[in-house]
Amino acid sequence: MKNLLLTLLILVMAAHYAVAQSAYGNRFSGDGSFSNWFIGAGAGPQVFFGDHDKKLDFGKRITAGYEFYVGNWFTPDIGARIGFNGYKINGLTQNGAHSTGEAYDAANELSRQKINYFYAHADVMFNIMNYFYSYDVDRIYSFIPYVGVGLMSAVQEPTSNKISFNLGFFNSFKLTRKLDFTIDIRGNIVGDGFDGELGGRKSEGLLVTAAGLKYAF
């Protein structure tokens, strides 16, 4: 999976390198080997949408999630990143998969569920502010939609490894020339059975909001 993510990032970089050189010239040039690269981390609430989870109070489904990422802007408008997200998600199970042993609805054979997971992904990012208003290194706020794909894994028995697609909105607020405060809102779609149960649905989902910091080299 590591090789797949690196390949995806390299392909995107290759596709836009010529655009960066021809369309922007010196307007978006750096002064070192790490120019236009960035790293970041964040944490915040997340909620999973599994087969039986809607029967559990929404507040009890919310858990903490964490993220770390590294990426590069090829042009002022287009960039890519590799990210790693995860921790644990709460829900309900009927067949005992990932059960905590705590009964929730005995009449329907439902018990509480906790799944430890991680999500490794590659995203293509679009800086809408730079696209419509031109590149400005001192811009206070940037709105950056992105799409991505990766591998979502449940790390406990029954383990599960499924391809997941994501769509998100990355909001960046400048604190200093190199440091930003960020709010990252992302939704994931993953195939049925990730939570250890086949419920007849085509997919399950995950919604994550993470606040954090981003450092630009």
pLDDT in tens, 6-30: 555 555 555 555 444 444 544 455 5
Distance CA 38, CA 24 (A): 19
Distance CA 217, CA 210 (A): 22
Q: Is the peptide bond before 145 cis (omega within 30 degrees of 0)?
A: no
Output the pLDDT for position 204: 92
Scanning the chain, the segments in alpha helix (DSSP H) are 2-19, 58-61, 128-133
Output the pLDDT for position 155: 92
In this prediction the pTM is: 0.83
Output the pLDDT for position 143: 96
Distance CA 29, CA 25 (A): 7
Q: Which residue has the higher pLDDT, 82 or 19?
A: 82
Cα 122 to its chain centre, rounded Å, is 9
* CATH, domain 2-216, list 1.20.1300.10, 2.40.160.20, 1.10.150.20, 3.30.70.3340: 2.40.160.20
Output the pLDDT for position 206: 96
Domain residue extents for the chain: 2-216
In terms of average pLDDT, the best of 28-37, 121-130, 134-143 is 121-130
For residue 210, give the nearest of 80, 68, 113, 90 by alpha carbon: 68
